[in-house]
Chain A
Amino acid sequence: MEFDLNTLWFFLITVLWVAYFFLEGFDFGVGILLPFLGKDDTDRRVMINTIGPVWDGNEVWLLVAGGATFAAFPEWYATLFSGFYLPLFLILVALIARGVAFEYRGKDKRPEWRAWFDRAIFFGSALPALLWGVAFANIVNGVPIDGAKEYTGNLFTLLNPYALVVGVTTFVLFTLHGAVFLALKAEGTVAEAAKALAKRLALPMAGLGVIVLVWTFLNEAGDLDGTDVAAVVASVLVALAAVGAVLAVMREREGWAFVGTGLTIVLVTVTLFLYLYPAVMPSTTEGVAGLDIYNASSTNMTLKVMTVVALIFTPIVLGYQAWSYKVFSKRISREQFTTTKS
């Protein structure tokens, strides 16, 4: 592994996806749990308000990951989004529906109005939680790409058993991450129900995680390079984090449980990107290597400009996002909503 700007940008894009999955992971989870843990409208308002001030900022990590991929690896951006066309379309529709639902749900008091937006929040969270897993499994495992860097498969190429299992795993992992987040951020009935549900999800999550890690290793085992060895090490760390998360969930140590599920998400993402490196979209087509950090990248000049920009803005963004989390660090309770008229 040679450290150059292309590698740096591969690393930065990894960081963007890590942040996105860590942050939006719990607000996907909250959305998925809405119909199950929100027994009445007040409970559902408690749940939505735990992520109210932050979900939009969390989602921007995705937009920046998209923009950064366009800027640093335009060929990757072009092949990925024209290739994974219909799944991406579904993700976009889901993100639109849930974003609007968060903002509009409370703007009308009729129960059927709120029920429709609750459905939008559930499906809008569940679909991407599943499909991002499917998409990344296919990226790492490779898809048919021709010599002109165009994807030549179809929708069903992407829906292979490995990818679907990874999708189910991200779905369960984000749901658990959301449950643990609710245990940490809500008060009363919602927090209690979230703890109980987390206990039921923790072991299945760990089980699925192990299956995915082993399956991914077997897929890659034929051809291990230096960073793949690092990926194997990271896999072991994922397992440790997942075990830690399970133990913390069982003992109702919600702070540690959140660290555990968060670390699991971070390390799983890192593992997948380590297996991927230095490719960005390997091809399964005979005789075609596919896209890597060199043949998919922008010029060195563009990468330099983007590096300077990232160095300036990233600390600023992290600063005010952290401040925002601090401002809204208090738990959300039913009392906040039952005393008001609206």
Chain B
Amino acid sequence: MDPLIVARWQFGITTVYHFLFVPLTIGLALLVAIQETLYVRTKDVKYLKATKFWGKLFLINFAIGVVTGIVQEFQFGMNWSAYSRFVGDIFGAPLAIEGLAAFFLESTFIGLWIFGWNKLTPKQHMWSAWMVSIGTAVSAFWILAANAFMQYPVGYEVNAATGRAELTSFLDVVTNKVAWVHFIHTIFLAVLTAATLMLATSAWHMLRDRKDAVYRFSAGFASVAIFVASIGVAFSGHWMGQVMTDVQPMKMAAAEALWETEQPAAFSLFAVGDVENGRNHINIAIPRALSLLATNSLDGEVLGINPLQAEFEEEFGPGDYIPPVGTVYWSFRLMIGIGFALMALGAVGTWLLWKQRIADTRWFHRLAVWALALPFLANIFGWAVTEIGRQPWVVYGELLVRDGVSPGVSAGEVLVTLIGFTLLYGLLAVVDVYLMKKYAQEGVTDEATADEVAKALAY
């Protein structure tokens, strides 16, 4: 057994799992902070009840996001020590800054938020919610800045004497365009994810004729958030596609199953590929659409997989530099498809809100409940494109994944921890789903004074 394979599965499982919770945390932190602000401004108890109800779901989810994040901090050293030695001079700093600037903020103010209802003034309490929200966003930026170095390394040079990448410009590292486009995309998809949960939960209650003002308000609020966020996701995604065409043409070519360079390039809707021979059996495509998406011009050139492979071989020697095309191609399509489906859902909800029919349009409620899983799936498909599309590189153009693994750790050891983490995470998933369902279905509760809320949320 090859430790590389087991280590890759471990990173994939623990990171995908972590990212099921992360967007919901970032998104709900922001939406709850907005709702608490509405309460502090208007003193309307409906907003307080909403803050508390969504806040409870937020906390259940936040707990798993936090604890699975601990593994993320250490597993580079555990399973990827050669990678850590190679990139540490650049990659460690954003991780440390994430802890210092974001984790402290989140963890301290979440404590103040949970336990401070009757100890802080309403304004201080509201600001605690905002500090948590800012903390989650700052955390997203720094971890994506670290990841961006793997996608598009900048601000460094490889020192021949030490055999590692060394920092030449920290400014280049933090202004990496991949970091920023991923950050913006992530913030929007986080809001999209959280708003979908909010809409689906409210719709579930309205289907059961629970007409509490909180559900009506939340459904409208969430619909607008979904609509706005999905537009943001689409535009930032489009920008991301252009950046990737520029910095990782192989990823875009794989995402399009574009084997040969085309000018103008067509956008594939459905393809059946022949990876062995580097071509497609069937390809239904919209002429010129890929050129428009990738280069903002109707006759831009988009590079294909086969010529890129030849280029890589020329530069780095013989080898297979093609990521798993089928996985990347279909992940890309499913992600985009879901994004547009959610945009439609948000548009319909916003329109129903405008027409004041959002509380009693039952088919919309049913649709919304079914939509709950969609953003989570799209988030995973998106990361599949980004990370599987980067293969076989761990630092694009600098270090191969197989050269990053810990040489001193045996396959058996990695397998033990893989099984351990998977079982533990599986158990946590069961408990989390049970609690999310319990509290989501229990619905809005009536504690209205700060003391009552404090008691309801304490341990």
- Which residues of A are interface residues toward B (Cβ below 8 A)? 45, 48-49, 52-54, 56-57, 59-60, 62-64, 66-72, 74-75, 77-83, 85-86, 88-89, 92-93, 95-97, 99-100, 102-108, 148-152, 298-299, 301-302, 305-306, 309-310, 313-314, 317, 320-321, 324, 327-328, 336-337, 340-342
- Which residues of B are interface residues toward A (Cβ below 8 A)? 59-60, 62-64, 66-71, 73-74, 76-79, 81-82, 84-85, 87-93, 95-101, 103-105, 107-112, 114-116, 119-120, 166-168, 170, 406-409, 413, 416-417, 420-421, 424, 428, 431, 435, 438-439, 455-456, 458-459
Contact A309 B413 (CB under 8 A): no
28 residue pairs A–B, Cβ–Cβ below 8 Å: A49-B458, A53-B116, A57-B107, A59-B70, A66-B73, A67-B73, A67-B98, A70-B91, A75-B88, A81-B76, A82-B77, A86-B417, A88-B78, A89-B420, A99-B70, A100-B431, A104-B60, A105-B459, A107-B435, A108-B438, A148-B407, A150-B81, A299-B167, A309-B100, A313-B100, A317-B105, A317-B108, A328-B116
- Report the minimal beta-carbon distance from B103 to chain A, rounded to whole angstroms: 4
Q: Please, which residues of chain B bring their CB within 8 A of the CB of A106?
A: 458-459
Among residues of A, the one whose C-beta sits closest to the C-beta of B102 is A60
- Report the minimal beta-carbon distance from B290 to chain A, rounded to whole angstroms: 39
Most A CB atoms within 10 A — which of B69, B70, B115?
B70
Q: Please, which residues of chain B bring their CB within 8 A of the CB of A320?
A: 104-105, 108-109
Distance of A48 Cα from B114 Cα, bound (Å) = 14
Count of A-B contacts judged by CB separation below 8 Å: 237
Contact A53 B431 (CB under 8 A): no
Contact B101 A313 (CB under 8 A): yes
Contact A80 B77 (CB under 8 A): yes
Among residues of B, the one whose C-beta sits closest to the C-beta of A64 is B99
Contact B108 A302 (CB under 8 A): no
Among residues of B, the one whose C-beta sits closest to the C-beta of A95 is B70
Contact A49 B74 (CB under 8 A): no
- Report the minimal beta-carbon distance from B409 to chain A, rounded to whole angstroms: 5
Q: CB < 8 Å: which of B77, B104, B120, B438 contacts A64?
A: B104
Most B CB atoms within 10 A — which of A68, A74, A77, A305?
A74
Given contacts A64-B99, A85-B78, contact A324 B70 (CB under 8 A): no
Distance of A63 Cα from B76 Cα, bound (Å) = 13
Q: Please, which residues of chain B bring their CB within 8 A of the CB of A64?
A: 96, 99-100, 103-104
Contact A78 B74 (CB under 8 A): no
Q: Please, which residues of chain B bring their CB within 8 A of the CB of A148?
A: 407
Distance of A336 Cα from B431 Cα, bound (Å) = 27
Distance of A149 Cα from B101 Cα, bound (Å) = 31
- Report the minimal beta-carbon distance from A103 to chain B, rounded to whole angstroms: 4
Contact B111 A57 (CB under 8 A): yes
Contact B417 A89 (CB under 8 A): yes
Contact B70 A97 (CB under 8 A): no
Contact B60 A299 (CB under 8 A): no
- Report the minimal beta-carbon distance from A114 to chain B, rounded to whole angstroms: 11
Distance of A45 Cα from B116 Cα, bound (Å) = 17
- Report the minimal beta-carbon distance from A82 to chain B, rounded to whole angstroms: 4
Q: Please, which residues of chain A bring their CB within 8 A of the CB of B417?
A: 85-86, 89
Among residues of B, the one whose C-beta sits closest to the C-beta of A322 is B108
Given contacts A103-B60, A306-B93, contact A60 B79 (CB under 8 A): no
Distance of A104 Cα from B438 Cα, bound (Å) = 12
- Report the minimal beta-carbon distance from B151 to chain A, rounded to whole angstroms: 19
Contact A72 B81 (CB under 8 A): no
- Report the minimal beta-carbon distance from A186 to chain B, rounded to whole angstroms: 14
- Report the minimal beta-carbon distance from B64 to chain A, rounded to whole angstroms: 7
Contact B458 A54 (CB under 8 A): no
